[in-house]
Amino acid sequence: MKIAVFSAQPYDRQFLDAANAAEGHDLKYFEAALGLESVALAAGHEAVCIFVNDVANATVLEALQAGGTQLVALRCTGFNNVDLAAAARLGVKVVRVVNYSPNSVAEHAVALLLAINRKTHRAYNRTRESNFSLNGLMGFDLHGKTAAVVGTGKIGRVFARIMLGFGCKVIGHDTFPSAEFEALGARYAAPGEIGANADIVSLHCPLTPETHHIINAETLRRMKRGALLVNTSRGGLVDTEAAIEALKSGQLGGLGLDVYEQEAGLFFRDLSNTIVTDDVLQRLIAFPNVIVTGHQAFFTQEAIGTISETTLRSATEFAKKAPLSNEIKMA
Ligand code: NAD
Distance CA 95, CA 116 (A): 35
Looking at residue 329, what is its pLDDT?
86
Q: pLDDT band at residue 295, thresholds of 50, 70 and 90?
A: very high
243 Cβ inside 6 Å of ligand 1: no
Q: Which residue has its alpha carbon closest to ligand 1 atom 11?
A: 176
Looking at residue 97, what is its pLDDT?
96
Average pLDDT (194-208) is 97
CATH of domain 2-100+300-319: 3.40.50.720
Where are the domains positioned within the chain? 2-100+300-319, 102-292
331 Cβ inside 6 Å of ligand 1: no
Res. 331: pLDDT tops 80:
no
Looking at residue 99, what is its pLDDT?
83
Average pLDDT (274-282) is 96
Q: pLDDT band at residue 84, thresholds of 50, 70 and 90?
A: very high
Taking the C-alpha atoms of 140, 145, 149 and 150 in order, what is their torsion angle to the nearest 10 degrees? Answer: -80
Q: 181 vs 154, 178, 189, CA distance in Å?
A: 9, 6, 12
Atom of ligand 1 nearest to the CA of 298: 40
Q: pLDDT band at residue 69, thresholds of 50, 70 and 90?
A: very high
Give the pLDDT confidence of 221-277 residue by residue, as tens digits. Answer: 999 999 999 999 999 999 999 999 999 999 999 999 999 999 998 999 999 999 999
Distance CA 178, CA 80 (A): 23
Looking at residue 148, what is its pLDDT?
98
Active site amino acids = 234, 263, 295
Same fold, 2-100+300-319 and 102-292: yes
Looking at residue 100, what is its pLDDT?
86
List the one residue out of 322, 304, 268, 216 whose CA is nearest residue 14: 304
Per-residue DSSP letter, 327 = B
108 Cβ inside 6 Å of ligand 1: no
254 Cβ inside 6 Å of ligand 1: no
Distance CA 246, CA 15 (A): 41
Distance CA 70, CA 65 (A): 6
Res. 190: pLDDT tops 90:
yes
Ligand 1 centroid to 153 CA: how many Å? 6
Average pLDDT (3-19) is 97
Distance CA 148, CA 151 (A): 10
**CB proximity list for 91: less than 8 A, separation 6 or greater:** 65, 70
Res. 330: pLDDT tops 80:
no
The reply to whether the predicted model has a pTM over 0.85 is yes
Note the CATH architecture for domain 102-292: 3-Layer(aba) Sandwich (3.40)
